[in-house]
């Protein structure tokens, strides 16, 4: 087949196959994209999924994808053996370095595992107009995935404030999931 495609016998690819750095492919353009292009992808997928499956299913899919990405990110980009404060400092540096956003910890309760985080300048919604609803469902899953990978306890995260609701940071409440829920 002279078209330059290499076909694999591998039936299923993993996130690692798609995300690992490749030596070629963007020699001239480099690895970064403008936030507007990232949002074009994200919000067109949101709209398509909501139209086909309904808004609640779209939200759950985005949370699930974010969770998958968060655990991958933790496993491949972070040292999960660090003490909590060092882990958070490392996470903050990495999120800023990769231009994902500026993470801050507002509250932690070691006894219950509850935490409150803010994210400013985030790729998902910083600068959006007031839409009247939170939109960072992917980030909810991403944070839950990070915390689950680090703590080895099942976390969930819910956005309670968002740029799209008139706030200037996104605020997330994270908690260990109840076994029954």
How confident is the prediction for the chain on average, in pLDDT?
91
- Collapsing DSSP to helix, strand or coil, 23 comes out as coil
The Cα 123–Cα 144 span in angstroms is: 17
DSSP bridge pairs for 161 = 171
Judge whether residue 1 has pLDDT over 90: no
**pLDDT at residue number 110:** 85
Contacts of 8 (CB under 8 A, 6+ apart): none
Decide if pLDDT at 22 tops 90.
no
Which domains does the chain show, CATH number per domain?
32-176 (3.30.1380.20)
3-state SS class at 63: helix
What is the pLDDT confidence band of residue 5, given thresholds at 50, 70 and 90? low
Higher-confidence position of 136 and 7: 136
Q: Give the mean pLDDT of 50-57.
A: 98
Q: Lowest-pLDDT range, 2-11, 75-84, 129-138? A: 2-11
With the C-alpha atoms ordered 79, 83, 84, 89, is the resulting torsion angle positive or negative?
Answer: negative
If one compares 154 and 14, the residue with the highest pLDDT of the two is 154
pLDDT for 2 equals: 45
Instruction: Name residue, tokens 């009247």.
Output: 132
For residue 3, count CB atoms less than 10 angstroms from its CB and return exposed for 0-12, middle for 13-18, buried for 19 or more. exposed
Token pair 């997928």 in the structure block, residue: 45
**How much is the pLDDT for 25?**
77
Residue 36: pLDDT band (50, 70, 90) is very high
Tell me the average pLDDT across 24-28. 79
Average pLDDT of the residues in 31-45: 92
In the DSSP assignment, the letter for residue 80 is: T
Q: Compute the distance between CA of residue 87 and CA of residue 52 in angstroms, rounded to an integer.
A: 39
| Separation CA 15–CA 74 (nearest Å) | 13
Query: What phi, psi does 73 have (nearest 5°)?
Result: -60, -45
What's the pLDDT band for 178 if we cut at 50, 70, 90?
confident
The Cα–Cα gap between 131 and 50 comes to 16
Listed in sequence order, the residues at least 6 apart from 50 whose beta carbon sits closer than 8 Å to its beta carbon are 57, 58
pLDDT at 180: 58
Q: pLDDT band for 7, please (50, 70, 90 cuts).
A: low
- Cα 92 to Cα 89: distance, rounded to the nearest angstrom: 5
């Amino acid at each position: 087949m002279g078209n330059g495609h290499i076909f694999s016998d591998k039936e299923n690819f993993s996130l690692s196959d798609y995300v690992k750095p490749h030596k070629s492919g963007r020699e001239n353009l480099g690895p970064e994209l403008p936030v507007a292009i990232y949002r074009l992808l994200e919000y067109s997928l949101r709209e398509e999924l909501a139209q086909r499956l309904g808004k609640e299913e779209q939200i759950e899919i985005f949370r699930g994808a974010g969770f998958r990405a968060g655990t991958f990110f933790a496993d491949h980009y972070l040292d999960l053996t660090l003490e909590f404060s060092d882990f958070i400092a490392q996470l903050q540096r990495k999120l800023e370095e990769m231009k994902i956003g500026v993470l801050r910890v507002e509250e932690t309760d070691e006894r219950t595992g509850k935490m409150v985080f803010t994210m400013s300048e985030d790729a998902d919604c910083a600068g959006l107009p007031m839409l009247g609803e939170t939109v960072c469902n992917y980030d909810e899953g991403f944070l839950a995935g990070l915390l689950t990978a680090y703590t080895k306890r099942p976390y969930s995260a819910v956005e309670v404030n968002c740029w799209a609701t008139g706030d200037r940071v996104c605020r997330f409440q994270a908690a260990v999931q109840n076994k029954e829920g």
